[in-house]
Amino acid sequence: MNLDALNKVAVQIVAPGKGILAADESTGTIKKRFDSIGAQSTEDSRRDYREMLFRTTSAMENNISGVILYDETIRQNAKDGTPLVKLITDAGSLPGIKVDGGAKELQFCEGEKITEGLDGLPARVAEYVKLGAKFAKWRAVIDMGRGGDRSIPSYTCIQTNAHALARYAAICQEGGLVPIVEPEILMDGDHDIDACAAATEWALKELYQQLYFNRVALEGTILKPNMVISGKLAKNRASVTEVAEKTVRILKASVPAAVPAVCFLSGGQSDEEATAHLSAMNAAFDLPWGLSFSYGRALQHAALNAWGGKEENEPAAQAAFAHRARMNGLAAKGEWTQALEKSAA
């Protein structure tokens, strides 16, 4: 493991005004998104859509520091034969790869999941490094329950997923990839922001304990957490100010300063919500880590709708993607405002 090289990648990810484009949707997930716009999901159409994003020069060069890819995508070439990985690197961005096998039912824990994929991971990491990947991602899914049921998350779910994240991180570092560790407290449900805060703190503290036990060097990692936020079905939704304050408080209580990069997932927030929350944190607090974004839907939603699966709509889709990338780039510096959002739309 070359820790200096790993740290350099992690620091580059949170360069001022930049963050990660999560373009690692599985074949099943992207089919659902294509279905929503009436587009057919084929290997070529998925390639064309992602190529369109990667060729959005203003976004890729100015606001995107890294791109998380799916196994299919990291192997694909653009229409003109250029590897998609080369499109990313030519724009000054870093290619990454999703390596987990997805969330499966956790035995004896009804309603909870464990992320699988450790079997054979060292060999996959070695292959992805040869294909050009510089970092990897593994997502753990932690549900909050419904209707006042706070029996979940259980300790079994929190601990088992933290251990899997730590084992994955160790394998990645040994193989030369910077691991993104992603323990996601799901926004689904009717829980309030304080319940989310408690679960987030628990999950993060267990994660960093397991990373220590598995000898992972924090300087060569990236954290991809949820924001501390009310559930989608909560009767009272927390304000932008409260989300920013409670998220930063939990992160400072749980995440060591040795971690160079914290890149939030959007987790079901609207495009503008995800931007506003990130900007509020960067504007109001002195932070020990670089704080940025690793958004999928919150960066792509407007572009996907503008594209509609039609080649003639690509300029409009690229403009929509560039706009959201710029807004989040401003948020990563604490400089986003609703006035800028509206004036640039």
- pLDDT tens per residue across span 43-94: 999 999 999 999 999 999 999 999 999 999 999 999 999 999 999 999 999 9
Looking at residue 90, what is its pLDDT? 98
Mean pLDDT of 19-35: 96
Beta-bridged to residue 121, according to DSSP, are none
Give which of 140, 132, 59, 57 is closest to 96, Cα–Cα.
Answer: 132
In the predicted structure, residue 158 carries a pLDDT above the cut 90? yes
Looking at residue 284, what is its pLDDT? 96
Contact yes or no for 169/216 (Cβ under 8 A): yes
Q: How confident is the model at residue 148 (pLDDT cuts 50, 70, 90)?
A: low
Looking at residue 1, what is its pLDDT? 75
Looking at residue 55, what is its pLDDT? 98
In the predicted structure, residue 150 carries a pLDDT above the cut 90? no
At a CB cut-off of 8 Å and minimum separation 6, what does 277 contact? 227, 229, 240, 243, 244, 247, 264, 269
The residues that are catalytic are 182, 224
Looking at residue 189, what is its pLDDT? 87
In the predicted structure, residue 149 carries a pLDDT above the cut 80? no
Looking at residue 279, what is its pLDDT? 98
Looking at residue 199, what is its pLDDT? 96
At a CB cut-off of 8 Å and minimum separation 6, what does 330 contact? 17, 275, 279, 336, 340
Mean pLDDT of 191-212: 97
pTM for the full predicted model:
0.96
Average pLDDT of the residues of the chain: 96
Amino acid code (one letter) for 14? V
Mean pLDDT of 192-211: 97
Mean pLDDT of 275-279: 98
Contact yes or no for 73/47 (Cβ under 8 A): yes
Separation between Cα atoms, residue 22 and residue 324, nearest integer Å:
13
- Which residue stretches of the chain are H helix? 3-13, 27-36, 43-54, 57-62, 71-74, 84-90, 121-130, 155-175, 193-213, 240-254, 271-284, 297-307, 314-331, 338-344
Mean pLDDT of 227-247: 94
**Chain segment 289-309, per-residue pLDDT in tens:** 999 999 999 999 999 999 999
In the predicted structure, residue 163 carries a pLDDT above the cut 60? yes
Amino acid code (one letter) for 290? G
At a CB cut-off of 8 Å and minimum separation 6, what does 199 contact? 142, 144, 153, 185
Q: How confident is the model at residue 342 (pLDDT cuts 50, 70, 90)?
A: confident
Least confident span in 62-71, 114-123, 162-171, 186-195: 186-195
Query: What domains appear along the chain, each with residue ranges and CATH number?
Result: 3-344 (3.20.20.70)
Separation between Cα atoms, residue 157 and residue 194, nearest integer Å:
20
Separation between Cα atoms, residue 345 and residue 343, nearest integer Å:
6
In the predicted structure, residue 165 carries a pLDDT above the cut 90? yes
Mean pLDDT of 160-173: 98
At a CB cut-off of 8 Å and minimum separation 6, what does 238 contact? 192, 193, 229, 230, 246
In the predicted structure, residue 345 carries a pLDDT above the cut 70? no
Separation between Cα atoms, residue 183 and residue 200, nearest integer Å:
8
**Chain segment 181-190, per-residue pLDDT in tens:** 999 999 998 8
Looking at residue 297, what is its pLDDT? 94
In the predicted structure, residue 125 carries a pLDDT above the cut 90? yes
Q: CA 17 → CA 22, 222, 270, distances in Å?
A: 16, 17, 20
Output Rg (C-alpha) for the chain, integer angstroms.
19
Q: CA 154 → CA 60, 130, 206, distances in Å?
A: 40, 39, 12
Mean pLDDT of 101-111: 95
Q: How confident is the model at residue 151 (pLDDT cuts 50, 70, 90)?
A: confident
